[in-house]
Chain A
């Protein structure tokens, strides 16, 4: 009896967790401009109103540019740093790692306030440069977490063999380490990319008049209810599903289990 109760309540909680996704996708194909659910008819009008609106398209362009730049910077500097952290024996590594992971722990709104005041004083407030810098900071923890696991599980002796056979350090990186870690490198990059593409709070504070897709969505949601958002939401869900699929495949090929990341 109690087992049935437990199973029922658990299934209900799972349903509660997944309800938003189940609601939003059908809503995006609704023909009504009200919040009727289930939708009275099928239409693609909300997709048209997204893809036909130059302001949304500009926001999309900004989102893509900022996400690509910030995730790439985070990946490059972060992977190299992760290598130093994993292979290094110098003191203070735990503290340094703490600094790199901190943006994940410190509430985004604090980072937002701090960057707002800082950027206002050095003239980066409301600039794309400032936005890329902010997003890079937020992407770094993901790169460090993924790449530390990947580098830690790669046999250090293989690197030493390459070096002792006469490879230079940079050759060892390019010809030995990178090809072996490539799946994890891509996974880390996608994590940082999604983190940036999804970011609302820091962007809301420091982007000034520049719009990104989430920032514009947030502003629309605060002001009014506009079903265009369901179309964007569905596109974002599709993007996420593709991204998770790629990450899972890459990490499996890279020999990293998802569990070790959580």
Chain B
């Protein structure tokens, strides 16, 4: 790569997009950040407002709780799935990967809608439960945190499974055979060799799911039915209903800081995984 000629022109290729992104992406975000501390003058009142108004703290707490639960559920469901896929024949791996990727390509609105059909009061699951006489009245799966967590897990699971599976495939089988031939039981090989090697990918994938849940908007809006507002839904209300731009800017800043901090951690974890 070092022998490539230096074209000053090459920066010129980058320039149009750079100017575009600075003008309509970086600048709006910078102005929003500035607005959260400069309206009407230098102030931290909008952040004080976030802390002092119990509504925002409750929304932040709920968002954090849902994000943590969703992340754990994704890890618990996703890790065994990725591990199982690793052991399949190459043809079956392709099929399994395709099934994991498939939902990626279906509008998130559609996937969320399907859960109303499945889990609603007149939905498939409730009718089965009622017909079997297991419950006397429909179980409320939707329009509460449970519904939001089910829907969010369904949407975000592929984000954990795909990178985890890719990382597991790269783990050298010979390491496992070596451990076995040295007398380790299957369980020990998994616990002492395989699991530690897959841990960085599991951590990175979990952080990704956490980040994505933290900023989730569509699923809580639809499956929460307005009763489970998360940060993004609070932003929707602040902007589109109450026109409280400064509070929205402050809340967005909190969301942005959390996201970027988690992203930095995941890059760091990923880099450690790559070198170890």
Contacts and interface: CB of A to CB of B under 8 A. Distances in A.
Interface of A: 6-7, 9-10, 13-14, 16-21, 23-24, 27, 34-37, 77-78, 80-81, 83-85, 87-90, 96, 99-100, 102-103, 105-118, 133-134, 136-137, 140, 156, 160, 169, 194, 198, 200-201, 204-205, 214, 217-218, 221-222, 225, 229-230, 233, 236-237, 240-241, 243-244, 259, 262
B109 interface: yes
Nearest to A137: B25
Interface in B1-23: 4-7, 9-18, 20-22
A109 B77 CA distance: 27
B28 A17 contact: no
User: What are the 6 A-B residue pairs with the smallest beta carbon separation, nearest first?
Assistant: A107-B215, A84-B13, A20-B114, A88-B10, A118-B28, A81-B17
Nearest to A91: B11
A21 B103 contact: yes
10 contacts: A37-B117, A84-B12, A96-B14, A105-B260, A113-B248, A117-B28, A117-B32, A118-B24, A198-B107, A225-B116
A102 B9 CA distance: 24
Contact of B222 (A9, A78, A112, A221): A221
Contacts of A225: 116, 120
B239 A200 contact: no
Contact of B112 (A7, A133, A221, A236): A221
Interface of B: 4-7, 9-18, 20-22, 24-29, 31-32, 35, 77-78, 80-81, 83-85, 96, 99-100, 102-103, 105-118, 120, 122-124, 154, 157-158, 162-163, 166, 211-212, 214-215, 217-218, 221-222, 226, 231-232, 235-236, 239-240, 245, 248-249, 252, 255-256, 259-260, 263
B17 A83 contact: no
Contact of A81 (B16, B124, B217): B16
Contacts of B35: 117
A100 B4 CA distance: 23
A72 B11 CA distance: 22
Contacts of A16: 77, 154, 157
A90 B10 contact: yes
Contacts of A106: 29, 256, 259
Contacts of B221: 218, 222
Contacts of A24: 110, 113-114, 117
Contact of A241 (B6, B105, B112): B105
Contact of A169 (B9, B122, B222, B232): B9
Contacts of B85: 10
Contacts of A217: 107, 109
Contact of B7 (A88, A198, A201, A262): A88
A225 B55 CA distance: 29
A20 B110 CA distance: 7
B217 A201 contact: yes
A160 B236 CA distance: 52
A113 B11 contact: no
A222 B222 contact: yes
B113 A230 contact: yes
B111 A88 contact: no
A5 to B, nearest CB: 9
Contact of A80 (B5, B17, B100, B218): B17
B123 A37 contact: yes
Contact of A99 (B13, B21, B212, B259): B21
Contacts of A18: 99, 102-103
A17 B215 contact: no
| Highest count of chain A CB atoms <10 Å: which of B214, B217, B248 | B217
A236 B16 CA distance: 33
B13 A259 contact: no
Contacts of B78: 13
B117 to A, nearest CB: 5
